[in-house]
Chains A and B, each alone.
Chain A
């Protein structure tokens, strides 16, 4: 749905004559359009100069808070000062290499898993190994790694963990819900429809409140579940409803003949699903699944409201430092950039996959 179709002309600027031709077509086709182009160009230029002044020429890259206050530009020194805290929160400084390694490995794993040709059982096994590595690195408490309790985790690792675990658990749950919604059994169907519509009808914040202030009352006296785990559960329950709708779209696209063929082969319902329907349906919905994942990645920032130290909350905390007051714009732009890089690359990846998958299907 959110696809920028490729516009061959806008892809790259050809050189020389081709470029003149391109400009004629895309910037100056008619007198009115030419005027528009020129006006827009000068406007952009006019806005760009003060921004460059702020960000480059007048910016304070090295120095103290007072240097920043005297200058009129951006206070990059603030980011330098708070860099570690924003990215890693209260994680003990002496073990900082551990979350860095965990994130580095995470990005490597993502990079490695990006090619559809590598999707296999082996890859899943590798991810399982990676998850253990992550726990070992982040939490420690075994093999000579010092224990770092979960209330010390914060910043980017926490955001990534909330998103990753959220996806891993909400995906199968969403598939079950989608199957339930299409089920011929009225009771199962009613439960699934009720759940999906209920969750999609309320804001995530209300589920987080529930996990934070209401859920403890649900448990017998004395049973306590960690705040982080409760928030994670709320996110999973929330995203699963959206995943279910995505998967349902894929299931609806599979022609009825496929089910019948499965039945004719004497396969059971679950065999039909596992061997015939789901592999096709899930493949169709990979792009919207990635979009849901992007949405969830952004939504993890809401845990700030129930006082967990995700990337956004560490930034807010850094901004509250009495010595470095007044650099919110710099701080927010910095994390915005981090979020943007993650979301934008995921979105690009989703579009590429969609392109590849549609073309491979039409062969």
Chain B
């Protein structure tokens, strides 16, 4: 044997190929083993497999739903309700968690010791206690501490709070309201755009753009205009005690509200810390530069510091966004009918564990991937906008 020749096993290339083939075989074999066991277990006992149950009648009721549903709907319909409920809590929850995060995070940098300490206390308390425990706590406050339906508290006229949840006075049903809401969201998008445009113009010409006035105009005037066009309906729907429940108004169930409160306060604590750390990561010189330009503290924060901090903030924010969405699956413990909860019921009624657990994973994975894509896009956008 020639001494200069590398033996087969010492050649990194060969070794890498052997290693990979080995890993591949092991993974395939393990999956095959588990799969065949499952197959054998199910076949031996003639257990139904597949997703045929989707089209069967579900037969159970769901506590709250954003779309039409009753017990004669299919399992697919039921799972859709669960999916939308998860979507609802994820959107509303993340919205408030980000607001709280930014607000408390900025307070954490206040010059005032008292404000700083309060912010820090909030963050340390809420992120060091398991979320599930916090959810139970809020739910217990509702079911145990708050009075019953007939003794409902009324802190403001038309607003009731009791162990059946919050009952709010809302505008009575009218088709124009959905357009007004759409206009409001359009207003948000336009404000965002206007801000972007305004900052660009300011950078070019030095002319300051009155974004606050514009924002108020876009956010409020626009919807009001639509409302006027729709005949300006003013009829209110006031919750009234009737039989077993309040009728009219809008009901936030204790389940939804506890879940929302728990998720927002928990995730908000993490978000606050991210915002605080993000702002601190901007060099002190930037503050001084902004100050020397004569900008107020708030203005330097908004125009100089925050845009720079955002680049540090967005990646960890993305994982918090996802965390809140994934954590919303804890709803099952406090009876909010989210996707996991409905899937769980489906599992119980059909007995098809493999399909249902697989479905749960697939749905959350899709949520995660979509959010990641969106946030990556947003992050790239932010990085490009302010160089």
* Cβ 8 A contact of B280, one of A5, A26, A203, A335: A5
Asked if A316 and B136 sit within 8 Å, CB to CB, the answer is yes
Is A72 engaged at the interface, CB distance under 8 Å to the other chain? Answer: no
How many residues of B are counted as interface, with CB atoms below 8 angstroms from the partner's CB atoms? 65
A interface: dominant SS: helix
Flag if B277 contacts A3 (CB, 8 Å). Answer: yes
Q: Is the interface of B mostly helix, strand, loop or mixed?
A: helix
Interface bits A215-237 vs B (CB < 8 Å: 1, else 0): 00111110000000000000000
Tell me whether A206 is interfacial, beta carbon within 8 Å: yes
Asked whether any CB of chain A lies closer than 8 Å to the CB of B2, the reply is: no
Chain B hits for A294, CB < 8 A: 128
Whether the pair B20, A185 counts as a contact (CB closer than 8 A) is yes
Complex contact A218–B37 (CB within 8 A)? yes
Asked if B137 and A329 make an inter-chain contact with CB atoms under 8 angstroms apart, the answer reads yes
Q: Provided the pairs A185-B20, A221-B41 are in contact, do residues A304 and B277 lie with their beta carbons within 8 angstroms?
A: no
Per-position 1/0 for B336-378, Cβ under 8 A of A: 0000100010010000011001001100110111000000000
Chain A residues near B23: list those with CB within 8 A: 187-188, 191
Query: For residue B24, which residues in chain A have a CB less than 8 angstroms away from its CB?
Result: 187
In the complex formed, the residue of B with least CB distance to A204 is B326
Most A Cβ at <10 Å: residue of B20, B44, B133, B354? B133
Query: Does B8 lie at the interface of the complex (its beta carbon under 8 Å from any beta carbon of A)?
Result: no
Q: Is A301 an interface residue (CB 8 A)?
A: yes
CB-defined contacts of B140 to chain A, threshold 8 Å: 328-329, 332
Interface status of B327 (Cβ within 8 A of chain A): yes
> What is the CB-to-nearest-CB distance from B160 to chain A, in angstroms, rounded to a whole number?
22
CB distance from B314 to the nearest CB of A (A): 13
Please tell me if A273 contacts chain B, counting CB pairs below 8 Å.
no
CA distance A344 to B332 in the complex (A): 27
Instruction: Establish whether residues B40 and A221, one from each chain, have CB atoms under 8 Å apart when the complex forms.
Output: yes
Knowing A187-B24, A332-B133, the reply to whether A219 touches B330 (Cβ < 8 A) is no
Q: Is the CB of B277 within 8 A of A2?
A: yes
Which stretch of A35-43, A81-89, A99-107, A126-134 is in the interface?
A35-43
Which one, A27, A37, A205, contacts B340 given CB within 8 A? Answer: A205
**One of B67-75, B112-120, B199-207, B230-238 at the interface:** B112-120
A3: chain B residues within 8 A (beta carbon): 277
A60 → chain B closest CB, angstroms: 17
CB < 8 Å A-B pair total: 161
Among listed A62-70, A111-119, A194-202, A253-261, interface-contacting one: A194-202
B195 touches A (CB below 8 Å): no
Nearest B-chain residue to A342, judged by Cβ: B128
A188 near B277: Cβ-Cβ < 8 Å: no
Q: Would you call A33 an interface residue if the criterion is a C-beta within 8 Å of the partner chain's C-beta atoms?
A: yes
A209 contacts chain B at the CB level, 8 A cutoff: yes
- Closest residue of chain A to B38 (Cβ to Cβ) is A217
B37 & A335 in contact (Cβ 8 Å cutoff): no
Confirm or deny: A182 has a beta carbon within 8 angstroms of a beta carbon on chain B: no
A residues less than 8 Å from B353 (CB atoms): 213-214, 217
Q: Taking the nearest CB of chain A, how far is it from the CB of B173, in angstroms?
A: 36
Asked if A205 meets B329 with Cβ closer than 8 Å, knowing A27-B113, A210-B357, A332-B136, the reply is: yes
Decide if B50 is an interface residue (CB 8 Å cutoff).
no
Q: Does B16 count as interface, using CB distance less than 8 angstroms?
A: yes
Name the one of A27, A187, A203 contacting B329, with C-beta atoms under 8 angstroms.
A203
Docked Cα-Cα span, A80 to B140, in Å, equals: 20
What's the tally of chain A residues with a CB closer than 8 Å to chain B? 60
CB distance B365 to A219 under 8 Å? Answer: no
* Docked complex: A325-363 residues within 8 A CB-CB of B: 326, 328-329, 332-333, 335-336, 339-340, 343-344, 347
Q: Are A344 and B354 in contact (CB under 8 A)?
A: no
State A319–B319 Cα separation when bound (angstroms). Answer: 35
Chain A residue contacts of B37, Cβ below 8 A: 217-220
Contact B144 A328 (CB under 8 A): yes
A58 at the interface (CB under 8 A from B): no
Is B20 a contact of A187 with CB atoms below 8 Å? yes
Say whether B316 faces chain A, with CB atoms less than 8 Å apart: yes
Q: Which residues of B contact A201 (CB under 8 A)?
A: 322, 364-365, 367-369
With a cutoff of 8 Å between Cβ atoms, the chain B residues found around residue A50 in the complex are none
A214 contacts across to B, CB distance below 8 A: 353-354, 357
Q: Taking the complex as formed, is B124 at the interface, i.e. its CB lies under 8 A from any CB of chain A?
A: yes
Whether A304 pairs with B333 at a CB distance below 8 angstroms is yes
A205 and B137 contacting across the interface, CB-CB below 8 Å: no
B340 cross-chain contacts in A, Cβ below 8 A: 203, 205-206
9 additional A-B pairs beyond A202-B361, A332-B137, beta carbons within 8 Å, are A36-B114, A37-B113, A201-B368, A201-B369, A209-B360, A220-B37, A304-B132, A305-B330, A336-B134
Q: Which B residues lie at the A interface, using CB under 8 A? A: 16, 19-21, 23-24, 27, 34, 37-38, 40-42, 44, 111-118, 120, 124-125, 127-134, 136-137, 140-141, 144-145, 270, 273-274, 277, 280, 316, 322, 326-327, 329-330, 332-333, 340, 344, 347, 353-354, 357, 360-361, 364-365, 367-369
**15 pairs, A vs B, C-beta closer than 8 Å:** A2-B270, A40-B115, A184-B16, A202-B364, A205-B340, A210-B361, A217-B37, A218-B38, A304-B333, A328-B137, A332-B137, A340-B125, A343-B127, A343-B128, A343-B129
The 5 closest A-B pairs by CB, nearest first: A328-B140, A26-B113, A201-B368, A343-B128, A203-B326
